[in-house]
């Protein structure tokens, strides 16, 4: 606004000076000095753009009629300008003050607003942080809850599956029990509908009850039993016994066992029924391949024999059969439990001999117990003493029952073990030749006895090794071929036997592939010897470093450990 006022003031000054400049200068009169013009006081300083007034020049003397403006007008103008400037300055100051007040007010409120906004932003930041933490905590909690829920669902599924399996197993067991019950009912029904008593066979049936176990009944006896089983007038116990004996003759051991068990249920103190049930349980065990089932059947047989020997009329055969069954259980045990079973079997067999000195089976059982105890003995002399004592017991059994092929097999086996205690090769050869002859005698008496063929194969195998060690290479090959024939014959009679002997022969010949084939067959048929024997058998030296042989050892070791757990860690 101030520049406009200055421009207005300049315009006024110009208008006042305009007449003096328009009058023409005189041509004749000499120049006269112009009357002095009062100096115009300078205007107050302007802060914006200064306005400069043009300098007053000396003018020629004007005609008398025209005179310069009075000096008083310049003062008024100056005063006016000063007033204007003063007013302008006042207005400017007021405006400036007003603006400063407004600015201060605005800045103050702005600062307050900014402070409030800052505070609100801080509060919002804190709230946002707290919200983030809360969200994170809630998310973790939700995650934990979800994980727990998943685990609970998985556990519930697992328990449900277990419950289903248990229910299925229970159903299977119930079905099995129902089937067994139905079968028992059918058999009882069948037994009730059998046997017609007639006077001409009652006496023979009584003799049949007292017949020794383990000996095949005569054709006449079987005919009598068949007649009794199919009769209608005989008493229930007689019919059950007759049926059991017929099943025994047909080698239907499971059915025979059922009949004997039914008879035991009717007559718990009947020693003949107890012996029959025990005998059939043992025969059924011979036909099983599952170790757990075999152990259960043998333990059941032992319980029945132990009940039988408590009866006053128990025959010596009950003691003899109990001793043999204990020996079978000892063969499945290890360590201290095995030794305890062997000691018990030895004492039981001694008791059987006291009751019947002519019972060859008891002599054989006593010899086997001594032979097995020798295997647990570390002292060389004690071992040989036990083996020689066992040999004497087998010879006693042969004296009492020469046709008993099993006694000849056991005699050959113990002589072979005695040979193993000899260091002199010629003495060892002589003993193995003797063992071979015993096996031959067993084969003469029972050509179907697999253990006799296997034993002769083992004897020939050891004779072949002795010939090789003595440098008799031709004889070594010949004896090895004979051993192979014996083992093959055993395998023909019973495919579960002879495989390990054939594996040993293949190993000695250097035929590793054939050795592996026979070992794996023996493993499949559960005819492998214990790991301890496999690790010590020198016949396996040619293949001992093979990876497949090491794997076979590990599998066999795992099976033995599993069997130990099932047997209570023996």
Average pLDDT, the chain: 79
Across residues 273-301, what is the average pLDDT? 91
Q: What distance in Å separates the CA atoms of residue 384 and residue 386, rounded to the nearest whole number?
A: 5
Residue 126 has pLDDT above 80, yes or no: yes
Residue 561 has pLDDT above 90, yes or no: no
Confidence of residue 204 (pLDDT cuts 50, 70, 90): very low
Q: Which of 372, 307, 316 is nearest to 346 (CA)?
A: 372
Backbone angles phi, psi at 78, to 5 degrees: -65, -45
Give the model's pLDDT for residue 398: 95
Confidence of residue 445 (pLDDT cuts 50, 70, 90): very high
Are 374 and 383 in contact by the 8 Å Cβ rule? The answer is: yes
- CA distances 25 to 31, 57, 60, 124, 446, Å, are 9, 14, 7, 88, 183
Q: Tell me if residue 234 falls in helix, strand or coil.
A: coil
- Give the model confidence (pLDDT) of 97-114 as tens digits: 777 777 777 777 878 888
Give the model's pLDDT for residue 192: 42
Q: What distance in Å separates the CA atoms of residue 341 and residue 326, rounded to the nearest whole number?
A: 6
Residue 170 has pLDDT above 80, yes or no: no
Confidence of residue 570 (pLDDT cuts 50, 70, 90): very low
Residue 433 burial (10 A CB sphere; 0-12, 13-18, 19+):
middle
Across residues 261-278, what is the average pLDDT? 91
The crossing angle, in degrees rounded to 10, of helices 380-400 and 360-375 is 170
Q: Which of 504, 467, 469 is nearest to 484 (CA)?
A: 504
Residue 553 burial (10 A CB sphere; 0-12, 13-18, 19+):
middle
Confidence of residue 33 (pLDDT cuts 50, 70, 90): very low
Across residues 511-538, what is the average pLDDT? 91
The crossing angle, in degrees rounded to 10, of helices 316-331 and 291-309 is 150
- CA distances 375 to 347, 391, 420, Å, are 18, 14, 12
Share of the chain above pLDDT 70, in %: 75
User: Which pair of tokens denotes residue 62?
Assistant: 């004007």
Q: What distance in Å separates the CA atoms of residue 2 and residue 364, rounded to the nearest whole number?
A: 149
Residue 569 has pLDDT above 50, yes or no: no
Give the model's pLDDT for residue 487: 93
Give the model's pLDDT for residue 197: 33
Give the model's pLDDT for residue 4: 58
Residue 538 has pLDDT above 80, yes or no: yes
Helix (H) or strand (E) holding 570: none
User: Which pair of tokens denotes residue 459?
Assistant: 């004897």
Across residues 558-567, what is the average pLDDT? 74
Residue 296 has pLDDT above 90, yes or no: yes
Q: Which residue has the higher pLDDT, 29 or 318?
A: 318
Q: What is the DSSP letter of 38?
A: P
Q: What distance in Å separates the CA atoms of residue 497 and residue 456, rounded to the nearest whole number?
A: 13
Q: How many CB atoms lie within 10 A of CB 96?
A: 12
Residue 208 has pLDDT above 60, yes or no: no
Across residues 490-497, what is the average pLDDT? 89
Helices (H) and strands (E) in the chain, counts: 20, 0
Between CA 64 and CA 71, with CA 68 as vertex, the angle to 5 degrees is 140
Confidence of residue 22 (pLDDT cuts 50, 70, 90): very low
Q: What is the DSSP letter of 472?
A: -
Q: Which of 306, 376, 366 is nearest to 339 (CA)?
A: 376
Give the model's pLDDT for residue 180: 62
Give the model's pLDDT for residue 453: 96
Give the model's pLDDT for residue 179: 66
Give the model's pLDDT for residue 526: 84
Confidence of residue 229 (pLDDT cuts 50, 70, 90): low
- Return the residue matching tokens 């009730």: 192
Region of poorest pLDDT, from 46-55, 397-406, 466-475 = 46-55
Give the model's pLDDT for residue 440: 96
Across residues 302-310, what is the average pLDDT? 94
Q: What distance in Å separates the CA atoms of residue 167 and residue 163, rounded to the nearest whole number?
A: 6
> pTM for the full model?
0.59
Q: What distance in Å separates the CA atoms of residue 516 and residue 440, rounded to the nearest whole number?
A: 29
Q: Which residue has the higher pLDDT, 451 or 67?
A: 451
Region of poorest pLDDT, from 85-94, 120-129, 213-222, 382-391 = 213-222
Confidence of residue 32 (pLDDT cuts 50, 70, 90): very low
Over the range 240-256, which residues count as b (16 or more CB within 10 Å of their CB) and which as e?
bbbbbbbbbbeebbebb
Residue 27 has pLDDT above 70, yes or no: no
Give domain limits for the chain.
498-570
- CA distances 330 to 299, 344, 412, 493, Å, are 11, 10, 21, 26
Confidence of residue 159 (pLDDT cuts 50, 70, 90): confident
User: Which pair of tokens denotes residue 52?
Assistant: 């400069």
Across residues 314-341, what is the average pLDDT? 92
Give the model's pLDDT for residue 184: 54
Residue 563 has pLDDT above 80, yes or no: no
DSSP 265-323: HH-TT-HHHHHHHHHHHHHHHHT---HHHHHHHHHHHHHHHHHHHTSTT--HHHHHHHH
Give the model's pLDDT for residue 164: 76
Residue 368 has pLDDT above 60, yes or no: yes
Give the model's pLDDT for residue 6: 58
Give the model's pLDDT for residue 138: 77
């Amino acid at each position: 606004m101030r520049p406009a006022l200055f421009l207005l003031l300049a315009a006024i000054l110009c208008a006042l000076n305009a007449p003096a400049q328009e009058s023409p200068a005189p041509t004749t009169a000499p120049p006269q000095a112009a009357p002095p013009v009062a100096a115009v006081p300078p205007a107050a300083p302007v802060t914006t753009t200064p306005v400069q007034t043009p300098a007053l020049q000396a003018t020629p003397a004007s005609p008398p009629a025209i005179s310069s403006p009075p000096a008083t007008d310049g003062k008024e103008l100056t005063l006016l300008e000063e007033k204007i400037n003063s007013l302008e300055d006042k207005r400017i100051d007021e405006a400036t003050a007003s603006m400063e007040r407004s600015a201060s007010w605005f800045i103050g409120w702005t600062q307050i607003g900014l402070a409030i906004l800052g505070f609100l932003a801080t509060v919002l930041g804190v709230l946002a942080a707290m919200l983030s933490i809360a969200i994170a905590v809630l998310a973790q909690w939700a995650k934990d809850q979800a994980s727990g829920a998943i685990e609970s669902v998985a556990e519930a599924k697992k328990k449900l599956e277990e419950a289903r399996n248990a229910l299925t197993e229970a159903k299977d067991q119930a079905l099995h029990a129902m089937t067994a019950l139905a079968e028992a009912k059918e058999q009882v029904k069948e037994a009730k509908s059998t046997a017609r008593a007639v006077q001409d066979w009652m006496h023979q049936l009584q003799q049949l009850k007292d017949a020794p176990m383990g000996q095949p009944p005569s054709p006449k006896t079987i005919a009598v039993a068949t007649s009794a089983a199919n009769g209608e007038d005989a008493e229930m116990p007689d019919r059950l016994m007759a049926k059991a004996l017929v099943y025994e003759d047909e080698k239907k051991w499971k059915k025979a066992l059922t009949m004997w068990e039914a008879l035991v249920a009717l007559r718990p103190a009947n020693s003949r029924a107890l012996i029959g049930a025990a005998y059939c349980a043992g025969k059924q065990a011979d036909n099983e391949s599952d170790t757990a089932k075999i152990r259960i059947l043998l333990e059941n047989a032992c319980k029945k024999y132990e009940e039988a020997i408590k009866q006053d009329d128990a025959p010596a055969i009950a003691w003899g059969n109990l001793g043999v069954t204990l020996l079978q259980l000892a063969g499945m045990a290890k360590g201290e439990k095995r030794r305890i079973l062997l000691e018990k079997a030895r004492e039981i067999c001694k008791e059987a001999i006291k009751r019947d000195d002519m019972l060859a089976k008891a002599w054989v059982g006593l010899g086997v117990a001594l032979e097995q105890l020798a295997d647990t003995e570390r002292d060389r002399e004690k071992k040989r003493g036990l083996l020689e004592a066992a040999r004497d017991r087998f010879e006693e059994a042969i004296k009492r029952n020469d046709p008993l092929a099993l006694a000849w097999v056991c005699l050959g086996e113990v002589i072979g073990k005695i040979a193993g205690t000899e260091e002199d090769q010629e003495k060892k050869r002589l003993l193995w030749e003797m063992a071979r002859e015993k096996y031959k005698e067993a084969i003469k008496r029972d050509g179907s006895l697999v253990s006799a063929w296997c034993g002769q194969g083992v004897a020939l195998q050891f004779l072949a090794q002795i010939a090789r060690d003595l440098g008799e290479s031709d004889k070594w090959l010949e004896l090895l071929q004979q051993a192979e024939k014996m083992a093959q014959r055993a395998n023909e009679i019973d495919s579960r036997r002879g495989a390990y002997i054939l594996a040993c022969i293949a190993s000695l010949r250097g035929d590793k592939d054939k050795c592996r084939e026979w070992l794996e067959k023996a493993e499949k048929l559960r005819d492998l010897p214990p790991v301890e024997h496999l690790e010590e058998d020198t016949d396996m030296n040619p293949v001992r470093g093979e990876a497949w042989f090491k794997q076979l050892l590990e599998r066999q070791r795992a099976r033995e450990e599993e069997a130990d757990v099932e047997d209570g860690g023996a």
